[in-house]
Amino acid sequence: MTRLRLLVAAGALGAIAAHFLTLTFAHDAPAPQKQAAHPDEAIVRLNERQIAAGNFAIQDVRGGLISKHIVVPGTIVPSGERIAKVSVRLLGTVAELRKRLGDDVREGDVLAIIESREVADAKSQYLAAKVALDLQDTLFSRSKSLFESKVSSENDYLRAKTAFEDVRIKFDVARQKLFALGLTGDQIAVLPQQPVESLRLQELRAPMSGRIAERRVDLGSLVGREGQESELFVIVDSSVVWAELSLQAADLAAVSQGQQITVSTGAGSAPLPAIIMFVSPLLDKDTRSARVVASVDNPSHILRPGTFVTAEIPFQQIQAELLVPKAAMQSIDGQSVVFVRTPEGFAPRRIVTGREDSRSFEVTSGLTANEKIATANTFVLKADLGKSAAEHQH
């Protein structure tokens, strides 16, 4: 009997020694250690290298604004002020194509060369009218000088003046016809210096900078009349786009022209600022909703026309002394917890929350200003904490 008691006592001492060795090994191991699982008592031990690898996005706890807002879906469309349809105003054929689909262009770049008998005739008429005007201008100046010197009669002066005015009107008509065919003042000014064989050619230039979104003709295509293609290119500048939204009648009181909102494409993308530029005064008779358009700066061309977006329209803002991002909070045993940075790693801290918006919670107790907390990948810390609890129970 005494021998049996000694064996039992020896077994108990061996178990205690084994448990002590396990704790000692865990303390010396390089891998992260976790202690008690209860919030405010546990800790997730991580060294600096492990914290950097975890990408926990550590931030200071600060105050801020809680924004009440309306969330509505929308679609990105090209800005109506930054899209150009490049058309021809004359009958001709495409002799040369300088730009292809998808090319970036600057205002004034030559997109295509059109060969046209119509433009050749118009340029010839202009050049003839210009020669006649220059001649009549010289004759009229001489007649005026002679009349003022009382060398010629008044009738001779009036005849010269009438002839000059008649030629000047024909010149102006010829010049206006060139404007109607799409020539610019600079192009008209250099016509007298151009070779005769180039008169049949007309340059089609980009009216704005952007990107070729559509090219509707091929080399040799006939253009410029009814039944034929007249819009040759579509240029889109997507550095600014529009977000078209549809708001229910009950929500229209919360929006106004000039109001700042945000739009995002989802999937964790950062929201982009936008400004409401139009609120329709009309309601759709079927959906009882109104069209709202917001202008979005898009310098990196992230937003493409046709992209579905979500818009947040704030209608009330409340100042809060302490805010934490929703991504920072985890629920442990039914309690709200954030992970506070400590010299050893991270310690879970129970908090009490108040008001909230789509991104943040107001903290009424449990944290103080400027404490550092993890705001990303906090589920990893929670998992480590749960694993520690399971190991502790076993």
Give yes or no for residue 377 having a pLDDT over 50: yes
Which 8-state DSSP code applies to residue 119? H
Q: What is the pLDDT of residue 61?
A: 93
Tokens 């549809």 sit at which residue?
Answer: 246
Give yes or no for residue 14 having a pLDDT over 70: no
Q: Which of 115-119, 122-126, 347-351, 385-389 has the lowest mean pLDDT?
A: 385-389
For residue range 57-77, list pLDDT tens digits in order.
999 999 988 877 888 999 999
Residue type, 346: F
Which 8-state DSSP code applies to residue 213? E
Residues 308 and 9: beta-carbon distance below 8 Å: no
Alpha-carbon distance values, 12 to 6, 18, 174, 226, 393 (Å): 10, 10, 115, 103, 19
Give yes or no for residue 245 having a pLDDT over 80: yes
Give yes or no for residue 3 having a pLDDT over 70: no
Domains in the chain, CATH or no CATH each: 31-67+319-393 (2.40.420.20), 68-80+238-318 (2.40.30.170), 83-116+205-236 (2.40.50.100), 118-199 (1.10.287)
Closest CA to 170 of 117, 131, 119: 131
Helices vs. strands in the chain: H and E counts, helices first: 6, 22
Q: What is the pLDDT of residue 8?
A: 33
Q: What is the pLDDT of residue 350?
A: 93
Q: What radius of gyration do the chain's Cα atoms show?
A: 40
Q: What is the pLDDT of residue 154?
A: 85
Closest CA to 225 of 119, 113, 90: 90
Residues ≥6 apart with Cβ < 8 Å to 258: 275, 276, 277
Here the contacts of 225-228 (C-beta below 8 Å, separation 24 or greater) are: 225/91
Query: What number is the average pLDDT over the span 158-187?
Result: 89
For residue range 331-340, list pLDDT tens digits in order.
888 889 999 9
Give yes or no for residue 15 having a pLDDT over 50: no
Query: What number is the average pLDDT over the span 264-285?
Result: 86
For residue range 190-243, list pLDDT tens digits in order.
888 888 888 888 888 899 999 999 998 889 888 877 656 688 999 999 899 999
What's the sign of the alpha-carbon dihedral 109, 115, 117, 123?
positive
Residues 274 and 261: beta-carbon distance below 8 Å: yes
Closest CA to 298 of 321, 273, 317: 273
Q: What is the pLDDT of residue 393?
A: 55
Tokens 């008209």 sit at which residue?
Answer: 188
- Give dist(CA 225, CA 88) in Å, integer: 9
- Give dist(CA 90, CA 218) in Å, integer: 17
Residues 191 and 126: beta-carbon distance below 8 Å: yes
Longest dimension (CA), the chain: 160
Q: What is the pLDDT of residue 5?
A: 38
Closest CA to 344 of 46, 62, 140: 46
Alpha-carbon distance values, 111 to 101, 201, 205, 222 (Å): 11, 13, 5, 16
Query: What number is the average pLDDT over the span 293-307?
Result: 90
